[in-house]
Amino acid sequence: MDLINNELIFVLTILAIIAGLLLLLLIILTVKSGKKNNTLLFLFFVLTIYLFGYAVELQGYPINITLKIIAIEYIGIALAPSLLLLVILDYWGISTEKIKVYQALLFIIPFITILIAFSDRIIPWLYSSAWMANSSGINGFAMIPGIWWYIYCTWNAAMLLICSLILLHVILTKSRLYRNQAILMLIGVSAPLVSIYLNSIVRQTIPIDLTPYAIMITGLSVYPAITRFNLFNIVPIAYASVFKKLGSGLIVLDNLGRIRELNPAFEEIFNVKGSEIIGSDAGTSIPYGNFLVDLSKGNNIKREELKISTSERPEYYFVDVIPFDEDKSTSSGSVIMVTRITDQKEREKQLIEYADIIESRRVDLNIAYDEKNTAYDLLKLNQQALSDSERSLRRAEALAHLGIYEWDVNSGKVSASDEFKRIIGIRNADPLPGYFDFINYILPSEREHVSALIKKNLDTCKSFTTDFSIIRPDETVRKIRSMNESEFDENGLLTHTTLIIQDITEEEKMLDEISEVHNENRILISEIHHRVKNNLQVISSLLSMQSRTIDDPVTLSLFKEAQARIKSIALVHEQIYNSSNFNKIKYRDYILKMTAYLFSLYNVSHDKIRCLNNVEPIEISVEIAVPLSLIITELITNSIKYAFDDNKTGEIEIIMILDHKKNMYILDYSDDGSGFPDDSDPNTGKGFGSTLIIGLTKQISGNIDVNSNHKGVHYHIEFPVV
């Protein structure tokens, strides 16, 4: 019986450890995948604590030790349901601000449970009694539930039930992509909910907890929801702020050319259904897909023209590509906007045709004058040519939305084209306004500006061009571009004026729409950098928290080095987020902040080590900023750790310039410490630090030269401007 008992305990322990390792793997893969959600990662973390704690509990320690192990387990199992509800509420679409209002209430019972578990009152509150028993041939922790155990289990069941109901609602109301996510998450939520019920039955006779094995099922179902079905991806933000509002077609591709989202306008243009092709390869799933995938490669904003042939006529589009990340992780990709320009293309073509017609008529008139025709034939030809020219001119005016108004000052006669009347909103039969009466059509807020231009025109005899808005008789407002050409006699008096106006209302609306989309894209890219910085900061904070429990100096040093490297990358994204230029960062400011952080991390006083920052006010491209920052972080860390003895003071100097003749950046780093040991060669890269520095220098296509003696080290690095 003992042999069977030991084998069963061994199997249960291995399963609990596998479940814990699975949760650790979920944390790593979720971070690497780029679908980062801090609450979800913390949920995985506390569940990992619970699973490993349960594996230790199964080893059958005395009851007093087992209760302490169980107290640690309660950190995970008490917080998990409330954390899971926050994740599901976020997924459902409840805003972060609304969740914060009720967030504290969700953790009152979990925190009380943890306090009881760590207090001397765990018995009788959580367990009215507890002992190490041998029941049904299995040694393990046995107990009789206390009153708080029932409260705590009821609370957990309520949290999981609410999560299940929300996910059922999503399954019944959302599209296929969200249903797939929700089904997998519902499986993950249902498993621990079922385990609560089974535990209430099984643990009456067998001293084992089924919850760890339910959590294993949860992990196996949540991971594909994150990686395959884009749970917590950036797309929902873009979808809410841009996708449904824009008339242009939008599609989001990841860096592998797979479709992550597309809007209704894109579906209409390319005659596809998003629910059928999301997650598939764009090159094979949509017409002209290979063209879009090739265009999305690289980190530059691009614009190309696309012609799509249809059964009725060819359609023309502008294709704009906006990358939303510069690294090669799975969170990178491109937003592609497809804007129809067929009408503009046809208008340009017709304008060219009409210009050719007018030129042809002019040539015909010249030929007619030169030929020896009778006066009757000549007059007839002139009349026909004039009629054709006027007709062509009217068509050209209407197409270009150009109206002409003329005023002969001496005769007082005014005339206007049909297009001029249409623009200002008067009928052909209505009397034309006088030149100075036209000011009454202008918006009151703009009249003073236009009046000043007219006065300046009369005083200086110079023409002018300006934009303003008019109110037509039907009270509609139109945006106008006005060009004034005036003629003056030798005395400077006005004799004739021509006013050409163009209706630019639609063009202004299009420019405003493009500007709005551009601003929204900048906000989206900025938010991405902000989230990357925040997620890296969370990782750094977790390392810092973990390092407080480490006594081994070597391990503690490795944790600090990892923190420094993560901080160097996070600070790059912080600089980008706080900058108006997403392509470059101000590197002098970066080095000042990174140096201060490293001195604080290693608790180094500026009185002991003085750091001279002689970096020119240069800007570094984002492409090389990360590897360069890791190089400088490694150099400063090495100096702080190894260059100076405990009682020795010293100096670090960082010089960085841009050599315009060579088009190269030059970095000189030095300290006056003890230098490298006599038997080592830093240029060979045998140590990890030297290997990292040399490898990163090659990554930015640079050259490195290292000199070392008993008076310190000197690194000279040159790398090209990108």
Which range in 99-113, 382-396, 539-553 is most confidently predicted, on average pLDDT? 99-113
Q: Which residues contact 377 (CB under 8 A, 6 or more apart)?
A: none
Cα–Cα distance, 95 to 640 (Å, whole number): 45
* Total domains in the fold of the chain: 3
Q: How far out from the chain centre does Cα 11 lie?
A: 45
Asked whether residue 349 is domain-assigned, the answer is no
* pLDDT confidence of residue 36: 59
Residues 170 and 263 in one domain: no
Look at residue 133 in the predicted model and tell me its pLDDT. Answer: 74
Spatial CB neighbours of 276, under 8 Å, sequence gap ≥ 6: none
Q: Are residues 204 and 187 in the same domain?
A: yes
CB atoms within 10 A of CB 625: 25
Q: What is the mean pLDDT of residues 456-485?
A: 78
The distance in angstroms from the start CA to the end CA of the chain is 72
Give the pTM. Answer: 0.39
Claim to verify: residue 180 and residue 285 sit in the same structural domain: no
Task: Specify whether 106 is located in the same domain as 130.
Answer: yes
Same domain flag for 118 and 52: yes
Q: How far, in Å, CA of 163 to CA of 600, rounded?
A: 43
Summarised one tens digit per residue, pLDDT across range 75-108 is: 988 898 888 888 888 777 675 566 676 788 889 9
CATH of the domain at 336: 3.30.450.20
Whether 620 and 628 have beta carbons less than 8 Å apart is answered as yes
Same domain, 89 and 40: yes
281 DSSP 8-state letter: B
Other C-beta atoms within 10 Å of 427: how many? Answer: 8
- Looking at the chain, the number of H-run helices and the number of E-run strands are 23, 19
Q: Are residues 146 and 192 in the same domain?
A: yes
Q: Quick check: is 612 in a domain?
A: yes
- Indicate if 95 and 211 belong to the same structural domain: yes
| 523 occurs within a structural domain | no
Integer CA distances (angstroms), 165 to 159, 582, 704, in order = 10, 42, 61
Q: Are residues 194 and 210 in the same domain?
A: yes
The residue among 296 and 247 whose pLDDT is bigger is: 296
Does 107 map to a domain? yes
C-alpha span between 86 and 95 (Å, rounded): 11
Q: Is there a domain that residue 374 lies in?
A: no
DSSP classification of residue 586: E
CATH number at residue 603: 3.30.565.10
Are 635 and 675 within 8 A, CB to CB? Answer: no
Do the domain assignments include residue 401?
A: no
442: which residues sit within 8 A by CB, 6+ positions away?
Answer: 450, 468, 469, 470, 471
End position of a domain, from candidates 320, 340, 360: 340
3-state secondary structure of 462: coil
> And the tokens for 46?
């506390």
More confident residue, 383 or 53: 53
Domain region containing 264: 235-340
pLDDT for 321 beyond 80: yes
Give the per-residue pLDDT at 326. 45
Domain identity same for 78 and 191:
yes
Look up the CATH number of the domain holding residue 76: 1.20.1070.10
Q: Is residue 348 part of a domain?
A: no
Residue that finishes a domain, picked among 316, 340, 364: 340
65 and 32 housed in the same domain: yes
pLDDT at 237 over 50: no
Residue ending a domain, among 227, 257, 273, is 227
SS3 429: coil
**Is 153 among the domain residues?**
yes
Same domain, yes or no: 216 and 300: no
Better-predicted residue by pLDDT, 201 or 665: 665
Which of 136-150, 219-233, 662-676 is most confident? 662-676
CB atoms within 10 A of CB 698: 13
**What DSSP designation does 357 have?**
H
Count other C-beta atoms under 10 Å from residue 568's C-beta.
26
For the record, the structure tokens of 361 come out as 């008529």
